[in-house]
Each structure stands twice: as C-alpha cells, then as structure tokens.
C-alpha cells in the first residue's frame, strides 16, 4: 500500500530507510554537480535548485543526519522538505508491494531519476496518480515495471474490469526549440558584453531575440549572436540577421519592472516581462544600471509550439502507442510549472458561464472527439504540487486535479464519473 499520509514524527524513519535502499551518494553527487554549474553561471541557481529540488532536499537531510546523528524533530516541521518526504514514503511503500525483482527495477529507476529532472517528474507523477486511486480503495499495478504493458498503471475495480492509466509529465520546455538551461547559459555569455553597452542607460529598454530555429551550436556562433545583441542595443534599432534571427527593440518606463525585478521568481515579475516584451512565459534576463535604467532580454524560437499544442501532441501519441485500446484508458497530465492556485483558478473560470470556455477545455474537447480515441474515458490534469500539510503533524500526498470525462467512449462506465474531485 502506498503511503498517502505521513506523520512528521516518521520523517527520520523514512529517511533512514530510504538512504539504506538508495544510498545518499546519488543525490549528493547530483547536488555537487549542480553547485559546480552554479559557480560557473550564477544565473542557473534558481533553475537548477527547482529542477533538482528532491536531490537538494535530501542533501539537506543528509547534512542534518551527519551533524546530529539523525534528523532532529524540530527540523521535521520544515515544510521545504515535504516534497522529498512524500517521495521517499511513496517509493518505499511502492517497493514493498512488488516482487523483489520488480522492486529492484523501481529502485534503479529512482537512482537514475536523480540525474534527469524529466525522469524524476515522470516518476513523481506516477506515484501521485497511484496514490490518488489507492486512497480510494483501489488496487494499483505497475505494468511497465512488471513487463505486462506499455502504460504506467492498471487500476483494478473500476468499470467492468480495470482502467489503464498513462501519465505524462509536462514541463515548460515542452514544445520549445530553445530550453531554459540553454537560454540561461547564453545569458551568462551575453551578460558581460551587453553590460558595457547599457552602462549609461536611464530608461527601460528591452530586446526580444527570435531565432529561426535554435541557438547557434558552436561557442563562436553564440558569441557572434551576443555581439549582434550588443550592437542592436547600441544603435537602438530593430534588425534581421543573415541567418533570419530577428532582433526587436523597445522602450518602457523603468518603474514598470524596476521593483519586481529584484525577485525574478515572482508571478508579478513574470506578468510584467510578458506585457512589456509582448512574449509569453519566456526565460528573461533583467539588468539594472547605475543610472536608473532597466534592460530586459528575451530569447525565443520562431518554431516553438504553444504549450498546449505540445501537450496534446504528447497525449495523442500516448493514446495511440502506449495504452492498449482494449480497455478503458485515462490520460493523466502533470503540469509541472502550474501550481495548485493557478490550476484552481483555471477550473473556477471554467465554471463561470459568463466567461468563454478555457483553452484547456477547447483543446480537450477537440482531442476527445477523435474517432481514433474511443478508448479514452477521460483526461486529468494535475498541478505541479502534490504534497502539502493536512493538519498539525500530518503531511498529505494528494494534489490538485482538473478532470474531463468522456461519456461517449465505447468503454464508458459510471465509475469513471467523478474519478477526480476538484480539491
């Protein structure tokens, strides 16, 4: 049985057992590599600490265990470690219900996931989905692990037999030709070059670089692009480079972003950058000057898919290639960069008849209307947050979900109504 609630007093027990099964070298090694990368490029700090948050949280617990001979009870109330606590508890309980050989496969997957954030996201989503059904008294199998199917979970006792579940974890890099890590590395390269150019800037100035496809592959090519950015800033003029890269300049009152830019990770800063540059959720570099000016640089690709377009491409492939088509199937989508409150807000808007259907509902409706997807009984979206304090001393491991049922499916059963209650 998967752990669905954890008492904070049990955290030392879970950590000791998890470390015995996995060994701390896997997360300590990854944190060491990340810290080395951050020393080389400080712009990576927030990004890497978020991407490898489980490794960082476990590393913190390792430090406590080495310092105190265990995790002191006072530190068990630290909410910043709860995601790792939930992950440990679910991994340990999942392996207990599997045959030894299958349990070893799970542990091997956990060890590998510390090196790859996409693998970690996928594993955490599967555990969250499994927890959801187990809390509702259902038996859950792991076909991919046991070699009995290509989908992630088999939930028994739903409908006339069992429900296949395929999980897809979606990060904000989905559909992008230029990923966030590449952009941040480029910003480290361009920063010293443009800093000299904007030294006397007293206004707000932005530069949006739209690449025809991807960033140049070679270091020299990226240096040339950085120099072209600097030249565009100096001349305050839009231009298109020989390879098709477009450089778009613009001005704005510096007070529109000057305050929020002190903390680039706030929603307010994200909204301000999007509004000023007329872009959508792109990684940005914001630099202030001694003269009171603010400079914003944004990189994007002309070939980027929209986030939803890329998401539903992934779901379409799962519906075609991974679930069997011989049983009812549910697609669970983990929106890693959408928090609980954002997903709740989307769902609340959907329930307001005065507002038009949300983009998610429109896309889901088109997706489920395909005759080739008659076996799909629903699509569920999970927020990126899956662990939260439930009451004093208790941590819950269920997240926020947004569910669309498909009663026209050939495999429809009333059991599939209300599988996910919006929390």
The predicted structure's pLDDT at residue 395: 47
Q: Are residues 297 and 316 in the same domain?
A: no
pLDDT at site 423: 40
- Whether residue 262 is contained in a domain is answered as yes
Evaluate whether residue 6 is within a structural domain: yes
Is residue 108 in a domain? Answer: no
Same domain, 33 and 133: no
Residues 317 and 412 in one domain: yes
Together in a domain, 377 and 277: no
The answer to whether residue 146 is domain-embedded is: yes
User: pTM (2 decimals)?
Assistant: 0.88
Tell me if 165 sits within 8 A of 152, measured CB to CB: yes
**Does 109 map to a domain?**
no
Q: What per-residue confidence (pLDDT) applies to 4? A: 59
Q: Show which of 301, 332, 348 is a domain's final residue.
A: 301
Question: Within a domain: residue 103?
Answer: no
My answer on whether 318 and 420 are in the same domain is yes
Q: Of 98, 125, 145, which closes a domain?
A: 98
Do 402 and 326 belong together in one domain? yes
Residues 296 and 311 in one domain: no
Do 309 and 420 have their domain in common? Answer: yes
pLDDT at position 345 is 62
Residues 350 and 394 placed together within one structural domain of the fold: yes
Domain assignment present for 365: yes
Residues 204 and 136 both lie in one domain: no
Same domain, residue pair 318 and 417: yes
Ordered per-residue pLDDT tens for the chain, 423 residues: 556 577 889 999 999 999 999 999 999 999 999 999 999 999 999 999 999 999 999 999 999 999 999 999 999 989 899 999 999 999 998 888 888 999 999 999 999 999 999 999 999 999 988 888 888 889 999 999 889 999 999 999 999 999 999 999 988 888 889 999 999 999 999 999 999 999 999 999 999 999 999 999 999 999 999 999 999 999 999 999 999 999 999 999 988 885 545 555 566 788 889 999 999 888 899 999 999 999 999 999 999 878 888 899 999 999 999 999 999 999 999 888 776 666 666 655 555 555 667 778 888 999 999 999 999 999 999 887 554 444 444 445 555 678 899 999 999 999 999 887 544
Question: Per the domain annotation, does 390 fall within a domain?
Answer: yes
Single residue among 98, 131, 154 that ends a domain in this structure: 98
Residue 389's pLDDT is 44
* Total number of domains in the chain: 3
- How far apart are alpha carbons 80 and 75 in whole angstroms? 10
Same domain, 250 and 358: no
Domain that holds residue 384: 116-175+305-423
């Amino acid at each position: 049985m998967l752990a669905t609630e954890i008492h904070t007093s049990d955290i030392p027990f879970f950590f000791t057992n998890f470390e015995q099964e996995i060994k701390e070298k896997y997360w300590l090694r990854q944190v060491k590599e990340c810290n080395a990368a951050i020393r080389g490029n400080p712009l990576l700090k927030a990004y890497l600490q978020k991407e490898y948050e489980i490794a960082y949280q476990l590393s913190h617990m390792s430090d406590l265990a080495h310092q105190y001979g265990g995790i002191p009870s006072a530190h068990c109330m630290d909410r910043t470690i709860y995601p790792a606590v939930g992950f440990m508890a679910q991994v340990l309980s999942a392996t207990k219900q599997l045959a030894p050989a299958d349990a070893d496969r799970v542990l091997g997957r956990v060890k590998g996931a510390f090196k790859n954030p996409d693998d970690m996201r996928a594993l955490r989503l599967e555990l969250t989905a499994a927890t959801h059904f187990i809390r509702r008294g259902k038996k859950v199998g792991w076909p991919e692990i046991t070699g009995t199917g290509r989908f992630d979970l088999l939930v028994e006792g739903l409908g006339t037999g069992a429900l296949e579940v395929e999980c897809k974890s979606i990060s904000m890099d989905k559909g992008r030709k230029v990923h966030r890590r590449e952009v941040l590395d480029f910003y480290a390269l361009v920063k010293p070059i443009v800093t000299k150019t904007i030294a006397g800037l007293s206004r707000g100035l932005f530069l949006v670089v739209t690449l025809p496809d991807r960033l140049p592959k070679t270091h020299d090519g990226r240096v040339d692009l950085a120099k072209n950015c600097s030249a565009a800033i100096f001349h305050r003029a839009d231009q298109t480079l020989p390879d098709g890269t477009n450089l778009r300049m613009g001005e704005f009152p510096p007070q529109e972003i000057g305050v929020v830019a002190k903390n680039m990770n706030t929603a307010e800063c994200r909204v301000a950058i999007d509004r000023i540059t007329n872009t959508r959720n792109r990684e940005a570099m914001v630099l202030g000057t001694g003269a009171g000016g603010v400079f914003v640089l944004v990189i994007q690709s002309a070939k980027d898919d929209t986030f939803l377009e890329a998401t539903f491409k992934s779901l379409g492939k799962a519906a075609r290639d991974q679930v069997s088509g011989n049983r009812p199937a549910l697609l669970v989508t983990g929106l890693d960069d959408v928090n609980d409150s954002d997903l709740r807000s989307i769902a609340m808007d959907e329930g307001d008849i005065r507002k038009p259907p949300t983009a998610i509902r429109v896309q889901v409706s088109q997706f489920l209307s395909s005759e080739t997807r008659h076996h799909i009984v629903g699509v569920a979206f999970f927020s990126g947050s899956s662990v939260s304090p439930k009451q004093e001393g208790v941590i819950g491991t269920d997240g926020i979900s947004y569910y669309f049922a498909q009663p026209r499916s050939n495999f429809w059963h009333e059991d599939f109504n209300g599988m996910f209650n919006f929390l």
